Amino acid sequence: MRKHPFDLLSFVAGLLFVGLALAYGIGAYTDVRLEPQYVFPLVLVVLGLAGLAGSILAQQRNDRVLASVAQDTADVRTQPLR
């Protein structure tokens, strides 16, 4: 199986929804309750932060690739012609 790049947003979304499911499950059997008015804003904030972090990481990865391509191009241009 081919390895694929890590997707931060999908990972955080999965953790968030598993955490919400656990919180509601625990709330069903205990007196601790998750207030519904906070759930939707919490989901939006966490997914927004994960998306922002993912885009920053992708941009840094692209910058490194472009820098290495530029360095390789510069190395080729400085070599004497034969």
Domain assignment of residue 52, given as a range: 10-78
Amino acid at 59: Q
In a domain, 2, yes or no: no
In a domain, 46, yes or no: yes
In a domain, 34, yes or no: yes
> Is the distance from CB of 10 to CB of 37 less than 8 angstroms?
no
User: Per-residue pLDDT averaged across 47-70, rounded?
Assistant: 83
In a domain, 24, yes or no: yes
The yes-or-no verdict on residue 18 having pLDDT over 90 is yes
pLDDT number for residue 81: 57
pLDDT number for residue 27: 85
The residue with greater pLDDT, 69 or 31, is 31
Number of compact structural domains in the chain:
1
**Measured distance CA(25)–CA(42) in Å, rounded:** 18
DSSP class per residue in the chain = -------HHHHHHHHHHHHHHHHHHHHHHSS----HHHHHHHHHHHHHHHHHHHHHHHHHHHHHHHHHHHHHHHHHHHSPP-
The yes-or-no verdict on residue 68 having pLDDT over 90 is no
In a domain, 17, yes or no: yes
User: Per-residue pLDDT averaged across 17-38, rounded?
Assistant: 86
A 10 A CB-CB count for 39 gives 13
In a domain, 40, yes or no: yes
